[in-house]
Amino acid sequence: MFGSVKNPEEADDKGMGWGRFEKYGDRIIIWIPNYKRFSDLVNDGLLPGHPYAGGRSDGNSYCILSGLKPEHMNLITSGSKEMLFEWQYPSFMVRVSDDID
């Protein structure tokens, strides 16, 4: 499952962030993309998109994906291109109550 969230500090779509999500019982595990690997795939023409001039503090660059087709999703989810997500740095969300209004 993939999802995205809008950055409230950005006025346009360039403020979107996304990642891979998996639900396990009362937990959701989130992995962010490996920005360098995705940028390389965009630059190599394997994924549609373009670089984003914003840059990152770690020296890698963001990219904006656009017009993804089923074959692009297969590339992202197949594992054929290693380490497209930061598997070693997951984030967790845990449900702590069934009483949510």
Give the tens place of pLDDT for each residue, 22-32.
888 889 898 88
pTM of the model: 0.70
In a domain, 17, yes or no: yes
In a domain, 64, yes or no: yes
Place of tokens 């989810």: 77
Structural domains counted in the chain: 1
In a domain, 101, yes or no: no
In a domain, 70, yes or no: yes
Cα–Cα separations (whole angstroms), residue 5 to 10, 43, 46, 75, 100: 11, 24, 24, 22, 21
Cα–Cα separations (whole angstroms), residue 100 to 53, 74, 88, 95: 40, 36, 31, 10
In a domain, 86, yes or no: yes
Question: According to DSSP H, which parts of 21-93 are helical?
Answer: 35-43, 70-78
Residue ranges making up the domain that contains 14: 2-94
Using an 8 Å Cβ cutoff, are 30 and 85 in contact?
Answer: no
In a domain, 99, yes or no: no
pLDDT digits (tens, 9 = 90+) for 58-83: 666 677 888 889 999 888 888 777 78
**pLDDT exceeds 70 at position 56:** no
The residue among 45, 47, 36, 51 whose CA lies nearest residue 76 is 47
**DSSP strand E in the chain: where?**
2-6, 16-24, 27-31, 49-52, 62-65, 91-94
In a domain, 100, yes or no: no
In a domain, 69, yes or no: yes
**pLDDT exceeds 80 at position 41:** yes
